[in-house]
Structure 1
Amino acid sequence: MELFQIVALALIQGLTEFLPISSSAHLILPTEVLGWPDQGLAFDVAVHFGSLIAVVVYFRRDVWALLRDGLGGLVNNRYTDEGRLAWLIVLATIPAGLAGLAFKDFIESHLRHASVIAATTIGFGILLWWADVRGARTQALAQLNWKRALWIGMAQALALIPGTSRSGITITAGLMLGMKREAAARFSFLMSIPVIALSALLLTFDLLSLEQVPWSELVLGTVLSCISAYLCIHFFLQFINRIGMAPFAIYRLLLGAALIWMIVG
């Protein structure tokens, strides 16, 4: 890839990983519209790793408290709010992990098409808007229980379908279950840590089969993805209570319409 393509794709991945607008929908556009080459497996690993670094660094105090109290609860059988939340995140990760193992090959072979991405971008965008308008938005993160966490985890499994958006569908589920906007977004971002880590690990195993690895491209992609993802998380949490989900839902509708225009045109 050329330098401009590396920069653009890394920034796109970092931003769209955590905004509820679908990274897969955005990564297909440069290929379909501009004729750019596929970024390849190695670059996917790099930008995912960059996103993982960003979310871990941003929530570093939360991550430490979750690990400390989650593991500590196993020893003394006494769980703080952070310890309980840690195991709720583990529980919510299981559905996506099982679905990924079961359906990864089918999704890669049959669902990575612009028509599927257009449909899911529009459909789940409307659902996001509906959940934001109709949701009670009264439940704090501390009030999350295992049933709600499991429902959000099952929603996360749907994000394996291209165009759905992992953050979008988990925030939608949280809002539908009555969570506050910031609480739903925060849980979504914390849930992303094990999911992105597992995804990057699986991609890394696939990467071992490659004979040549473009290390300079990967380092640049990792750094840019990390920076853009960190800024995205920060500003999203800063402004989500003021702007709501309507701007993202509208953007998804416009993006889905653009994809449909590309398909029929």
Structure 2
Amino acid sequence: MFSNFFELTILSAIQGISEFLPVSSSAHLILANDISNLGIGSIYLDTGMHLGSLLAVIFYFRNDLKKITKNKKLLYLMIFGSLPTIFLGAILYITGLINLLRSIEIIAWTTFIFAILLWVADKFKIEKKIESDLNIISILLIGLFQMLSLIPGVSRSGIVITAGRFLNFDRFESTKISFYLSIPAIAGASFLTLKDLGSSIADNNIIIILGICFSFIFSYLTIKYFLIYIKNFTLFAFIIYRVILSFILFYIIYI
């Protein structure tokens, strides 16, 4: 039981910290399970921890979300931008194709390729704001980019920030768009798998519930301090991290 608790803490920390940083939480969870042979990893636990992240972002942005519900235009834009990922995610889950993407080789290449893409996008200097400049065309493009996040290693946060930067939104605004779009995206993924929890054994349910709680704590702290960071620094540190990680994975795979 203690070993499971320790492993759960590690996985929840990985999920909570990496979900909102441009580094791919799904990739890190897969790598943690494959490389370290953690015994409690499963797609249900992964989704449970994503649910913890979902609750954290809703709680952190509760005041902003109240304003969004009153701003019908912005509300519809956020919903519209989330639909492509939700639909494609449902198809991949129902067909089982989602499991074919959970390989270290895919993660290595997506981690590297989308690090370079983020580096290029982060050089854009023009500053747009969500309230005045976000429109149906820009949110559709961001939503299409976000579909790529279903591939482990791409990073949902990273690809949305990349799209936002390409569309000339500043880093802080791009990050906020990423947080807002995470709500329907994670909610959709959580619904698809957590609806099956009743068929799993009681011990697993307890682990998943603890995973939700731990992930909530780590996610909330990450959101708070990442927003402070992004106001003062570029994304270069995350780009370097991704490149180093991809080279390590290339070494493991090909050498």
Normalising by the smaller structure, the TM-score range is over 0.9
Alignment-derived partner of residue 17 in structure 1: 19
Native 8 Å contact 2:86 2:189 kept in 1: no
Matched, 1:170 2:174: no
Shift >6 Å, 4+ stretches:
none
Of stretches 212-221 and 52-61 in structure 1, the one that deviates more from structure 2 is 212-221
Matched, 1:239 2:241: no
Q: Distance in 2 between matches of 1:41 and 1:111?
A: 13
TM-score, with length taken from structure 1: 0.89
Q: Distance in 1 between matches of 2:235 and 2:14?
A: 20
Of stretches 208-217 and 239-248 in structure 1, the one that deviates more from structure 2 is 208-217
Matched, 1:31 2:33: yes
Matched, 1:144 2:124: no
Q: Distance in 1 between matches of 2:217 and 2:64?
A: 19
Q: Where does 1:241-256 land on structure 2 (aligned, <5 Å)?
A: 241-256=231-246
Q: Where does 1:97-136 land on structure 2 (aligned, <5 Å)?
A: 97-104=86-93, 105=95, 107-133=97-123, 135-136=124-125
Native 8 Å contact 1:19 1:167 kept in 2: yes
Matched, 1:225 2:227: no
Q: Kindly, what percent of the aligned residue pairs are identical?
A: 38
Of stretches 41-50 and 229-238 in structure 1, the one that deviates more from structure 2 is 41-50
Gap change, CA 1:213 and 1:42, over 3 Å in 2: farther
Q: Distance in 1 between matches of 2:57 and 2:244?
A: 28
1:89 to 62, 68, 78: 78
The residue identity in structure 2 corresponding to 1:228 is: F
Q: Distance in 2 between matches of 1:243 and 1:108?
A: 34
TM-score, with length taken from structure 2: 0.93
Native 8 Å contact 1:25 1:118 kept in 2: no
Report the aligned-residue RMSD: 1.6
Of stretches 197-206 and 124-133 in structure 1, the one that deviates more from structure 2 is 197-206
The residue identity in structure 1 corresponding to 2:86 is: G
Residues paired across the two proteins, number: 251
Alignment-derived partner of residue 48 in structure 1: 50
Native 8 Å contact 1:15 1:232 kept in 2: yes
Q: Distance in 1 between matches of 2:156 and 2:14?
A: 15
Q: Distance in 2 between matches of 1:207 and 1:238?
A: 36
Alignment-derived partner of residue 251 in structure 2: 261
Shift of 1:185: 0.3
The residue identity in structure 2 corresponding to 1:114 is: I
The residue identity in structure 1 corresponding to 2:26 is: S
Q: Distance in 2 between matches of 1:138 and 1:126?
A: 21
Shift of 1:106: 5.5
Unaligned 5+ segments in structure 1 are 70-81
